[in-house]
Amino acid sequence: MKGNLVFKILFSILFLGVFCVYSYMHFSSGWFTDGFAENVAALGENGEQIGQDSQEQAQQEAAAEPTVEPTVEPTEEPGNDLPDVDLASWEMILVNKDHAVDENFAPPETATLANDCVVDSRIADALTSFAEGAQAEGLPVYLSSGYRDYATQQYLYNRKISQGYSADEAAKIVTPPGTSEHQTGLCCDITDYYHDPKTTDLENTETFQWLLAHCQDYGFILRYPEDKQDITQVMYEPWHFRYVGVEAATYIMENNLCLEEFVALYDQA
């Protein structure tokens, strides 16, 4: 009996020793910690258990998902889309207080249209088509104040000063001789009926509304817009239309420019 008891005690001690050695090897090799990490990795975003297949599928889907790059709108540099216009061409001449012509300047040839309106002959057909386009819509059209020579402009300017205006004030209403577009013959005052004097109320007429909407189709622009007076240094004139050609006129009107701004764009391009 004693021998069996001793044997059992020794066997138990031996078994306990082997178990301790086995447990030590497991813990020191990292098997336990690796298994814990795998279990944590197998948890979904909401703490739910997911299988190995689901985990691999999620990784594959994440890898296959395309990377969305932020959208960056291209920046247009000024002048990139400017029309191919020759600023040295006759129809693009800029006349204002900073770009005057001399007293001998005149159109090479003139044409007389309705109401004895004289213009540069090179714009006669376009101006006639412009007026006829409005008339085709049942709108009355009156052409006036086309070409004016230097002497006539001098008379009109002096008359305005004699009415009590200062030189600067008069220049905004009647430009001084040599600085008026009328001396080029490339512009025309277009109204519904004869008006004297012309006032900004003309913008309320159906004729003006049609002319403003369609002038670029015939190569004309509204030369002195209301919101460009600081640039043109001429009062708002909803009757003064200037010929520049269809391509330039379309760009100017669509981009809400005055002629000075349009010409300046080519210096920046």
Report the catalytic residues: 237
Parallel, antiparallel, or unpaired for β 220-222 and 142-144? unpaired
Q: Comparing C-alpha atoms, which of 111, 125, 122, 116 is closest to residue 143?
A: 116
Tokens of 96: 């204002």
Q: Comparing C-alpha atoms, which of 242, 214, 218, 249 is closest to residue 137?
A: 214
Using the Cα atoms of residue 115, residue 116, residue 117 and residue 119 in order, give the sign of their dihedral: positive
Amino acid at 55: Q
Burial call 66-80: b when 16+ CB within 10 Å, e when fewer: eeeeeeeeeeeeeee
The Cα 13–Cα 149 span in angstroms is 130
What are the phi and psi torsion angles at 83 (to 5°)?
-65, 155
The Cα 69–Cα 138 span in angstroms is 56
What's the start-to-end Cα distance of the chain, in Å?
Answer: 114
The Cα 238–Cα 116 span in angstroms is 21
